[in-house]
Amino acid sequence: MNDEQRQEIIRRLQQGEELSPEWARIIFPPEKREYELVYHGKEREEDIIANTLAVPLQKVRTFGKNGDGWHNKLIFGDNLQVMKSLLELKRAGDLSNTDGTQGVRLVYIDPPFATKQEFTGQSEQKAYADKVEGARFIEWLRRRIVLCRDLMAEDSSIIVHLDDRKVHEIKVIMDELLGPGNFRNAVIWRRTNSHNKLNRQFGPIHDTLLFYARGAFTFTPGKRPFMRGYIEGRFTNKDKRGIYQTNYLTGPGVRTGDSGKPWRDFNPSLSGRHWAIPRQIRELCKKTLDGLTTQQQLDVLEKEGLLHIPNKEGGQPMYRQYLTDGVPYQDLWCYQSNSQGILYGTKECIDEDVRYLEDAPESIGYPTQKPEGLIARCISSLSKDGDLVLDAFAGSGTVPAVAEKLGRRWIAIDCGKLAIYTIQKRMLILRAKIGNYGTPLKPKPFCLYNAGLYDFSKLKELPWDAWRFFALQLFQCRDEAHKIGGIQLDGYLKGTSVLVFNHQKQPGVRIDEETVQSMHEALGSKVGSRMFIIAPALVFDFQQDYLTLDGVRYYALRIPYSIIHELHQREFAALKQPADEMAVNDTVDAVGFDFIRSPELEYVAMANKRKGEMLSEGVIRIKTFKSEAVVRDSTKKANRETLSMVMLDYDFDTESDVFDLDAVFYAEAIQKAEWEVRFPLESLGKQLMAVFVDIYGNEAREVITAGKFGLGDTKAAVKPAKKSREKTRK
Ligand SMILES: C[S@@+](CC[C@H](N)C(=O)[O-])C[C@H]1O[C@@H](n2cnc3c(N)ncnc32)[C@H](O)[C@@H]1O
């Protein structure tokens, strides 16, 4: 920085002016990186980690027999906060691959593209909105990629699936976060059929998969068949080994050693080349070539019948290139419909294994669902059996489904209730083959967790160690037991001692001023100027945030309690649930945690005979739906305004108690239908379960018998029709 610049900076700061980003380059010249993406609101990586609240994972349920060791994880929560908690698990050695290495072997993420907000509004506003929204989106995703990277094992890969709108910016971000040297490919995947109605652009039909890897990462790409024309036109020779073509035995460049010397009257140096014996024929040769000169090796290969010596004098010797089992995956994954017959030895179309979904049988109707074949290519190429695969934007659960089929461990995170129920169902009715067909496949036991939205009643049932851990995590305390004045304390919060009150050991005991006083007598000023006591809200017998005794402040950290707001100095935002199908792919940014509060619900169930139709339809008319949450946007909402969606299991089985998602109705559509959920009665079993989800992710669950829809509990009146989707095996 020169003197003039220094003076200018001082002048601007003294006058209270803001410094534009260009000055940042001068004050903080880039050191390690040659380039970086500059935008408003870009946080330091260290701050991202430090400012992210870890939200403990609360187990809701285990599917399958609960054994020891690793359990695959399905987690409902904001991935940023969840990944911060997973980082703690990694540090504690609890995030392992089967071979014992720590960390995730493969991260695949398919984030929403933030399109809805960006492409609305008047054209003038749009340009501005694009920029603001664009920067916000990039930072939103960058924060998550930072966490993904920190969760990765030493030898691992990451794939970020994006479309054209943001891939270029994110490529630069990935270079910053993972190092440009770790960039492997930008794989182009065809995601849809050709477009006919074009808006003055070529048809946008592909997505891009940014692939980065570090360390000695696993790389075992599969193969695809050759083009038939190539094989039939070139592999025209045949011997006992099979069909072959002749190919060059030399490579470009002159060499002075053996490989530059003549053999069989052919001098490769004269044409600027040298002998380069390909691996394929080395491997086919039954005799050892070790320790031989190039020319001796060529002699052996010739004797073995692996070379082709031209009849013409001085002609270039060639080798026999035999047909192999296919071409390894390239970076263009482009399904071509109607291309049957074009590939050698198969009736498949080009890249049929990664064909886009359209109305393929594996489609379960989740918006943005990706095909299993696409994910199978990623997982099989970049991980081994027993490796841990993470999808932090799990959606319909394609990654856990494929990971399960390929014998990998998995963690799937999503902040949408619809996604969680879709994945739960999908895992329970898996079929063994990629594309979801073949024999039924029982998944390994997996656990469903809540993170950030907790069931307080279950929390109280936790054994003491788990409760203590949960409490410390919740308030971001360091778990470090220590003693002061003979009192056993549990950890630190920003350097201040923390006590997790053992309400289980002392049932019925309340923390009142007297309790704090006797604690204070033991601790005195040795504890410093403040101390935190964590306990369930109801255990405290005083209302204040803290009590002051001889200048020492004893803070009450109530669970749940909004002091966490003060501690983290930020507003909390809920896990916003979508109210229409378009919004399923919105970006979600939740901060903090809350406790499940069942919404207030009043409804009537009935049957409705439609004019001119034989069968009646089932109707659930929602009369009241109200919910609340201790979050930023918890302004009073009108009746039914907080409804996000209603999900139905048409044939709920009380015994297994698994909600088996059959249909989803978004609030927007329900509102249009005069707040009625209408469904075909022929789908109904003996009873249905309806899950009413609010926009904060809370649920009200109702089991409604067929009788309520006028069918009689035996359902004699209506024969159950086949379900559109397979029923969960229980
Ligand atoms: C494009 S979809 C993923 C589709 C998925 N690959 C599949 O095959 O079904 C993106 C998902 O990210 C979820 N999502 C958005 N923001 C999130 C967040 N902050 N934390 C966790 N999930 C989030 C959405 O709920 C949505 O299900």
Residue with the nearest Cα to atom 22 of ligand 1?
414
Give ligand 1 pocket residues (Cβ under 6 A). Answer: 78-79, 110, 112, 366, 368-370, 393, 395-396, 398, 413-416, 419, 585, 587-589
Question: What is the predicted pLDDT for the residue at 510?
Answer: 85
Would the pLDDT of 561 be above 60?
no
Nearest CA, atom 26, ligand 1: 395
Q: Give distance in angstroms: CA of 110 to centre of ligand 1.
A: 7
pLDDT for res 373? 98
* Residue 463 CB coordination number (10 Å): 8
| C-alpha 352 – ligand 1 centre gap (Å) | 25
Take atom 17 of ligand 1 and give the residue whose Cα is closest.
588
Taking the CA of residue 78 as reference, the ligand 1 atom at the shortest distance is 20
User: Which ligand 1 atom minimizes the distance to the CA of 113?
Assistant: 1
* Structure-model confidence comparison of residues 155 and 547, the more confident one: 155
Which among 426, 588, 666 is the best mutation to test ligand 1's pocket, defined by most ligand atoms within 8 Å of the CB? 588
Please name the amino acid found at residue 565.
H
Residue pair 554/547 in contact by the 8 Å Cβ criterion: yes
**Omega prior to 180 cis, within 30 of 0:** no
At 180-209, the pLDDT tens digits run: 999 999 999 999 999 888 888 999 999 999
Segment (H or E) for 532: strand 530-536
β-strand partners of 646? 665, 692
Residue 312 scores a pLDDT above 60: yes
Distance (angstroms) between ligand 1 centre and the Cα of 558 equals 32
- Report which ligand 1 atom has the smallest distance to the Cα of 590: 19
pLDDT at 580: 75
Q: In angstroms, rounded to a whole number, what is the distance separating the alpha carbons of residues 363 and 360?
A: 6
| Helix, strand, coil tally for the chain in percent (to 5) | 30, 30, 45
- Greater pLDDT, 684 or 544: 684
Q: pLDDT at residue 307 above 80?
A: yes
In 578-715, the DSSP E strands lie at 594-595, 600-609, 616-626, 643-649, 663-666, 676-680, 687-694, 699-705
- Name the one residue in this structure whose structure tokens are 């109305």: 359
Distance 52 CA to ligand 1 centre (A): 19
Spell out the SS3 assignment of 183-237: EEEEEEEECCCCCCCCCCCCCCCEEEEEEEEECCCCCCCCEECCEHHHHHHHCCE
Residue 10: pLDDT over 80: yes
Q: Whose CA is nearest to atom 13 of ligand 1?
A: 393
Q: Are 561 and 537 in contact (CB under 8 A)?
A: yes
Atom 5 in ligand 1: residue holding the nearest Cα: 395
pLDDT band of 460, cuts 50, 70, 90? low
Which atom of ligand 1 is least distant from the CA of 79?
20
Instruction: State in Å: Cα 374 to ligand 1 middle.
Output: 17
Instruction: Report which ligand 1 atom has the smallest distance to the Cα of 586.
Output: 15
pTM: 0.80
Name the pLDDT band for 246 (thresholds 50, 70, 90). very high
SS3 per-residue string spanning 404-420: HHCCCEEEEEECCHHHH
**Residue range 87-100: average pLDDT?**
92
User: Which residue, by CA, sits nearest to atom 14 of ligand 1?
Assistant: 393
The two tokens of residue 30 are 């880039």
- CA-nearest residue, atom 2 of ligand 1: 395
Determine the average pLDDT of the residues in 255-272.
Answer: 94
Question: What average pLDDT score do residues 421-438 get?
Answer: 95
CA 119 to centroid of ligand 1, rounded, Å? 20
More confident of the two residues 231 and 124: 231
- Hey, which of 415, 582, 584, 645 would you mutate to test ligand 1's pocket, going by the most ligand atoms within 8 Å of its Cβ? 415
Q: Using CA positions, which residue lies closest to atom 25 of ligand 1? A: 416
Does residue 301 or residue 523 have the better pLDDT? 301
Q: Is pLDDT at 566 greater than 60 in this prediction? A: no
pLDDT for residue 564 is more than 80? no
Ligand 1: centre distance to CA 187 (Å):
20
* Ligand 1 centroid, distance to 394 Cα (angstroms): 5
Cα(299) to ligand 1 centroid in Å equals 60
Per-residue pLDDT averaged across 667-696, rounded?
Answer: 92
Secondary structure of 8-44 as H, E, C letters: HHHHHHHCCCCCCHHHHHHHCCCCCCCCCCCCCCCCC
Instruction: Please report which confidence band the pLDDT of residue 131 belongs to, taking 50, 70 and 90 as the band edges.
Output: low
Give the chain's end-to-end CA distance (angstroms, integer). 69
- The protein residue with its alpha carbon nearest to ligand 1, atom 27, reads 395
pLDDT of residue 119: 35
Ligand 1 center to 78 CA (angstroms): 10
pLDDT digits (tens, 9 = 90+) for 323-336: 999 999 999 999 99
Q: Say which range, 216-225, 385-394, 715-724, has the weakest mean pLDDT.
A: 715-724
Residue 405 Cα, ligand 1 centroid: separation in angstroms? 21
Counting runs of H as helices and runs of E as strands, what totals does the chain give?
18, 35
Q: Binning pLDDT at 50, 70 and 90, where does residue 614 land?
A: low
Q: What is the overall mean pLDDT for the chain? A: 86
Q: How many angstroms separate the CA atoms of 44 and 46, rounded?
A: 5
Percent of the chain residues past pLDDT 70, beyond the cut: 86
Residues 6+ apart with CB under 8 A from 77: 55, 413, 415, 449, 450, 451, 452, 453, 575, 590
**pLDDT (0 to 100) of residue 585:** 66
Please give the Cα distance from 367 to 377 (Å, whole number).
21
pLDDT in tens, 134-166: 888 999 999 999 999 999 999 999 999 999 989
Per-residue confidence (pLDDT) for residue 65, from 0 to 100: 74
How far is Cα 321 from Cα 238, in angstroms, rounded to an integer? 11
The CB-based long-range contact list for 247-252 (8 Å cut-off, 24+ gap) reads 247/278, 247/318, 247/319, 247/321, 248/316, 248/318, 248/319, 249/275, 249/276, 249/277, 249/278, 249/298, 249/307, 249/316, 249/317, 249/318, 249/319, 250/274, 250/275, 250/276, 250/316, 251/276
Angle at 655 between CA 649 and CA 658, to 5 degrees: 40
Predicted confidence at residue 121, as pLDDT, reads 34
563: pLDDT strictly greater than 80: no
Report the b/e string of 176-201 with b at 16+ CB within 10 A.
Answer: bbbeeebebbebbbbbeeeeeeeeee
String of b and e for 334-358 (b: at least 16 CB within 10 Å)? ebeeeeeeebeeeebbbbbbbbbbe
Q: Please tell me the predicted confidence (pLDDT) of residue 565.
A: 45
Structural contact between residues 152 and 214, judged by C-beta atoms closer than 8 angstroms: yes
Highest mean pLDDT out of 14-28, 398-412, 481-495: 398-412
Averaged pLDDT, 707-723? 57
CB 604 within 8 A of CB 621: yes
Q: Whose CA is nearest to atom 12 of ligand 1?
A: 393
CA of 391 to the centre of ligand 1 (A): 9
Checking if the pLDDT of 629 tops 80, the result is: no
Distance (angstroms) between ligand 1 centre and the Cα of 87 equals 20
Among 363, 368, 587, the mutation site with the greatest number of ligand 1 atoms within 8 A of its Cβ is: 368
**In a mutational test of the pocket of ligand 1, which residue from 74, 78, 393, 580 has the highest number of ligand atoms less than 8 Å from its CB?**
393
Query: What's the full length of the chain, in residues?
Result: 730
**Ligand 1 centroid distance, CA of 320 (Å):** 50
- Expressed in angstroms and rounded, the spacing between residue 585 Cα and the centre of ligand 1 is 7
Q: Which of these ranges, 27-31, 235-239, 448-452, 495-499, has the smallest mean pLDDT?
A: 27-31
Mean pLDDT on 484-488: 90
pLDDT at 468: 86
Residue nearest to atom 4 of ligand 1 (CA): 395
